[in-house]
Structure 1
């Protein structure tokens, strides 16, 4: 929708809708991967980020829930935050989990998201992030319990407010991967504060501009095989790829992908991992038995090293995280086509 020349009054709503979709998909992907969090390490993808711009949708996304409950959502973001290197997808995942949690357990008063600069050197900055509410609070003897998967502070909390009990464990895992720890300051009947400090590398405005600059792609007439069993994903993927003037062929499972690569010449293959009949790992191994040249890029929702290693071991050239921005997808495809990196070598 954003690429269809929307009216100015529609732009913010489209951005909010897009952001909401990313939040939902990231939550789902993390829930699906949660069972692996105890045994594998989350890897991060830091990019030059303007935090002020990155969190500007927070209020727009969550304010309707606050209005329905008669509470307020306040943003207190320092005006002089520098450009930083940050995995903004995972950072937003943390913020949205904590804000959603705060709203859920607050029936009167307010929820506040505060991001402040504690210290800045020539190379790094220390940022303090806090989500504070005036909700029901958590008893001191329950503070450690909230980090356990599928549990909440008490059975009555679960009965009254619902939820899976996965939000805070996911937050804990991501923040620890960022080199920090989440602290709790909470008192029943008063409210809660969840906060953490992040030491981040500074980035320049030029780096930010370069990272966000739309690249001109030269993909006209290039032929690509999209291997994906989900019809919605196929529809969206085809629209993105065909808009970039790529010729798109589709396979709905790994076995069909192997047959199509054997019978046709493709400039690249986009391979989903989880599929019926034959998964993406097996399909890639089969393709590599007779074709070691065509780049194969995995479409993966996982952030875990275990999955990344499996992708490379199966003969794929690299991976593209889901959800992805159309520009990022096209950049990765073009890089793969232009690269001479052979299979079994990471291309990220």
Structure 2
């Protein structure tokens, strides 16, 4: 309808309205440019010059146009009261002018005021009247735009879409890009209302591109705000966060308190001056009337002048209050933006963490097949040339597994999924076990590991031996990596003891290649190796020291570093632990792998992955252990009820009921059978929840065969060993 109305317009008036005075027309063009750039302060100042020039030349049509532009600028400032003041001044001029275009603009502004007061149908009628009075292309395009806004208000979305589409391809000489930008923003909101998110994003991006290209700062802000919301609803958090940052930058640079106060001051001054002119005119009329005997007229004029002055004072007070309210609102908005930025950053971090967790978890299943099959092939006496390839494959699998475990460990710490335990342990044994496990690496590097252990440290401590073991595994392993034909010293000292509270000092020192001062600044960041050359020469992921830093943070401690390039490095920290000095005889329940007699054992394997079933079964058969296979938790419960098994190897993540729930159900009728959880542990998994469900032990997939056999042996034969002891 809107397009048809455009085509059917008569050509009684000029196609595009222009002012006869070129100087005033130039100012009007400047005002339009300032308005598009949201520079209302300069727009008002320029328009003030145009008003003075029009009055000086007694160009009443230009003065009328000036009043209309004042009204539109104050509408941009959401100041309908002042806009109405200028519209009233324009009404007085219109009475004595034959100026159809001026009447059309007058009705157009009245329609906007009606629209803003939610008189939508009256506004549409007023726009139709304006359209009949002028065929100025720019005015008609603006009518289309306001009409589209009203159609959106009254849910006439088809009509709104027609108007917006017409403005997308407009040929307006003055506001082509600006109108297209507004139309794209409108279509974006319309498509969001129609539940077409991709179309909505497309138009919002188009609006942003036009706004950035032409310097439409207010529209840039609106587009970025809208895209922040759209991308968040589409779960595209990276793009949402990027546009949210753009919002903050635009507001910080353009929508400042100083700018708002400056615009308010300019707007108030201009309005005050124009109202003062009105008072001056009234005063002049009063002086003329005072010479006559018409006291009633004098009284009326004085009363009018008094009322105008009171009105001006009231408006001034009102505007000052508005400035304060806008300033407070801006501060409130800034706080909201900061909260939104914080929430968006948290959402993005959660999305990243969940993504990495999912990837690391999913990689474990195929990696289990790689490591398991490699082990089985090595056990089948391969040819010498095949053995070398298989050893390389095994090394690569172990390397990849360590990398995945490191990423998962950092994710768990970042997501606050890790808490330090408080269990009894022997520190010296923890350190000795770590050093023993790294002796093979030390031999290959022709490096000696020395343990300097303070005998005053209490024998029994309370803490988290697993995490302390991880810390030293990474520190000593890191020292060995960068030390050849040298030595690594591991130092443990008692600093202070206060009853059950002790403070310990630890240091891992090497005489390797050392670390430069520049590299020391980032050495504890994720994936940092010091340099690309170091990474290529020595390998590794650069996550070891990050894990150390994160784990120590759980204990409230901090890793420190001293290093000289070419001389070696020293990593040191302090830990606060508790002690429990109990006279408990040390009874070792640990057995060497060869002491277990697996022959004749019968176990239940609960596993939904067919490849994993085959590999696990073959690994058991290697030790002459027979097994039944359950494809899910329900089958596991039924088989456990119907048969007797020496142990159950329970996968945790399965379709249907989980391994945890299956374990709980089995524990209802069998309290004794050892249940070992086999799981590619993920971010949300908790070892505590496995044990709480009734599992006796946990083996993470992909596992080393020796660990797999050791856990089976320990859990099946533990009761027998305890009885003998």
Q: TM-score, normalised by structure 2?
A: 0.34
CA drift of 1:231 comes to 6.3
Other structure's SS at 1:31 match? helix
Q: 1:31 aligns with which of 384, 396, 406?
A: 406
1:37/1:175 Cα in 2 relative to 1: closer, same or farther (>3 Å)? same
CA drift of 1:169 comes to 1.8
**Within the alignment, does 1:121 sit opposite 2:474 as a pair?**
no
1:236/1:105 Cα in 2 relative to 1: closer, same or farther (>3 Å)? same
CA distance in 1, matches of 2:642, 2:458: 52
* Structure 2 match to 1:260: 639
1:291/1:58 Cα in 2 relative to 1: closer, same or farther (>3 Å)? closer
* Structure 2 match to 1:227: 606
Alpha-carbon contact 2:630-2:636 (below 8 Å) kept? yes
CA drift of 1:64 comes to 4.4
Q: 1:54 aligns with which of 406, 414, 430?
A: 430
Q: How does 1:28-107 map to 2 (within 5 A)?
A: 30-31=405-406, 33-34=408-409, 35-83=411-459, 84-107=461-484
**Within the alignment, does 1:299 sit opposite 2:674 as a pair?**
no
CA distance in 2, matches of 1:27, 1:100: 12
CA distance in 2, matches of 1:132, 1:24: 25
* Structure 1 match to 2:210: none
1:297/1:66 Cα in 2 relative to 1: closer, same or farther (>3 Å)? closer
1:71/1:319 Cα in 2 relative to 1: closer, same or farther (>3 Å)? closer
Greater shift in the superposed pair: 94-103 or 322-331: 322-331
1:128/1:327 Cα in 2 relative to 1: closer, same or farther (>3 Å)? farther
Alpha-carbon contact 1:320-1:332 (below 8 Å) kept? no
* Structure 2 match to 1:149: 526
Q: Deviations over 1:159-185 (max 9, x none)?
A: 111112122122223222233222222
Alpha-carbon contact 2:636-2:662 (below 8 Å) kept? no
1:316/1:332 Cα in 2 relative to 1: closer, same or farther (>3 Å)? farther
CA distance in 2, matches of 1:157, 1:132: 19
**Within the alignment, does 1:308 sit opposite 2:683 as a pair?**
no
CA drift of 1:28 comes to 6.5
CA distance in 2, matches of 1:53, 1:289: 37
CA distance in 1, matches of 2:711, 2:665: 32
* Structure 2 match to 1:271: 650
CA distance in 2, matches of 1:205, 1:236: 42
* Structure 1 match to 2:558: 181
User: Structure 2: which 5+ residue stretches go unaligned?
Assistant: 1-397, 591-601, 700-706, 721-725
* Structure 1 match to 2:658: 282
CA distance in 2, matches of 1:290, 1:67: 47
CA drift of 1:118 comes to 0.7
Alpha-carbon contact 2:687-2:698 (below 8 Å) kept? no
1:120/1:232 Cα in 2 relative to 1: closer, same or farther (>3 Å)? farther
Alpha-carbon contact 2:697-2:711 (below 8 Å) kept? no
1:302/1:82 Cα in 2 relative to 1: closer, same or farther (>3 Å)? farther
Q: How does 1:171-250 map to 2 (within 5 A)?
A: 171-206=548-583, 209=586, 225-228=604-607, 229=612, 250=628
Alpha-carbon contact 1:49-1:85 (below 8 Å) kept? yes
Other structure's SS at 1:33 match? helix
| Bigger RCO (CA 8 Å, 6+ sep) | 1
**Bigger share in helix:** 2
Alpha-carbon contact 2:482-2:513 (below 8 Å) kept? yes
Q: 1:135 aligns with which of 491, 509, 512?
A: 512
CA drift of 1:288 comes to 7.4
1:87/1:238 Cα in 2 relative to 1: closer, same or farther (>3 Å)? farther
Alpha-carbon contact 1:29-1:301 (below 8 Å) kept? no
CA drift of 1:301 comes to 6.3
Q: Deviations over 1:275-298 (max 9, x none)?
A: xxx359635557879996566967
Alpha-carbon contact 1:172-1:181 (below 8 Å) kept? yes
CA distance in 2, matches of 1:176, 1:302: 26
CA distance in 2, matches of 1:176, 1:201: 18
CA distance in 1, matches of 2:714, 2:421: 13
CA drift of 1:157 comes to 1.0
Report how many aligned residue pairs link the two structures. 297
Alpha-carbon contact 2:447-2:485 (below 8 Å) kept? yes
CA distance in 2, matches of 1:149, 1:109: 27
CA drift of 1:62 comes to 3.4
CA distance in 2, matches of 1:280, 1:24: 33
Structural RMSD (CA): 4.6
* Structure 2 match to 1:20: none
Alpha-carbon contact 1:281-1:310 (below 8 Å) kept? no
Alpha-carbon contact 1:311-1:319 (below 8 Å) kept? no
Q: Deviations over 1:21-70 (max 9, x none)?
A: xx999957733623443213323444322222332344444344444434
Other structure's SS at 2:684 match? helix
Other structure's SS at 2:491 match? strand
CA distance in 2, matches of 1:28, 1:281: 30
